[in-house]
Amino acid sequence: MRVVIFGASGMIGHGVLRACLLDPQVDSILLVVRRLLDVDDPKVRQVVHADFTDFAAIQGEFENLDACFYCAGASSTGLREEEYARITHDHPLAAANAVSAANQSLTFTFVSGEGVSESSRSMWARVLGRTENALLAMPFDAHVFRPAYIRPRNGALPRSSAYRLIYRLTSWLYPVLHRLAPAHTTTTEHLGRAMIAVARSQGSAPAVLHSPDINRLGAVVRGR
C-alpha cells in the first residue's frame, strides 16, 4: 500500500505515521510537510510545501497512491470563521483534489470531530460539517473520522503548549473516562490502525466513523 499523510507533525498525524511505519503492508509513505520532520525510515519520503491551498507545484508527487490520510487541522480558539475555514475546509479540499487527480481508486480519510454538523450553531462544527459533506460528495472512497476524546500514545503530543498541559494534567483520568464512556474515547494508536484498516476495506467501511468504530478497527492489527 502506498500512502500520503498530511499533518504528520501533529498529535493525530504522529499516530497515523507510526501505524504506517509498523505495518508491513504499507510499502511507501509520502509526507507533505512545511518543515522536514525527524523521521529516518526507508519507507518515508518527505516533500516540503508551503501553500496548502495550491499543490500544483508538487502534483507529480501524488501519482500511484492507494490512500490519503488527512490529519492536519487547527483549534478554532482565537480564529475568525474565515481563518478557521481556510485551514479546515479549503486546505483539505485542495489536498483531496490534488491527490485524487491521478488516483481514481484512492481512499481518502479525514479527521473531523464528534458533534460536527453543517447546521450547528458552533462555528467549528459548522465549518467541519461543510468539509465533511464536500469530501463525501467527491468521486472517490471518502471516510470521515469523528473521534471525541483522543488519548495520545507512544510519544504523540499536541502542537499547542496549552493542549499539552491539558493532556498532561488529565492523562491519569483516561482509564476512568474510558470505563465510564467507552463510546467517546479512543487513542492515537487506534486511530492510526483504523485508518489503515479503512484503506484496506475497499469501500466496505462506514463513511462516517465514531469512536466505537475507530476502536473496533484499530484493535485489529492486520497484515502481521
Over residues 75-85, mean pLDDT: 93
- CA-to-CA distance for 173 and 112, rounded, in angstroms? 23
- Separation in Å, CA 221 to CA 133, 156, 169, 192: 30, 19, 30, 11
Over residues 56-65, mean pLDDT: 96
Could you give all domains of the chain from N- to C-terminal order, each with its CATH number?
2-218 (3.40.50.720)
Angle at 111 between CA 75 and CA 119, to 5 degrees: 75
pLDDT one-digit tens code per residue, 83-124: 999 999 999 999 999 999 989 899 999 999 999 999 999 999
| pTM score, whole prediction | 0.89
Cell of 177: 473516562
pLDDT at 75 over 60: yes
Q: Where would I find the beta strands (DSSP E) of 26-123? A: 28-33, 44-48, 67-70, 107-111
pLDDT one-digit tens code per residue, 118-147: 999 999 999 999 999 999 999 999 999 999
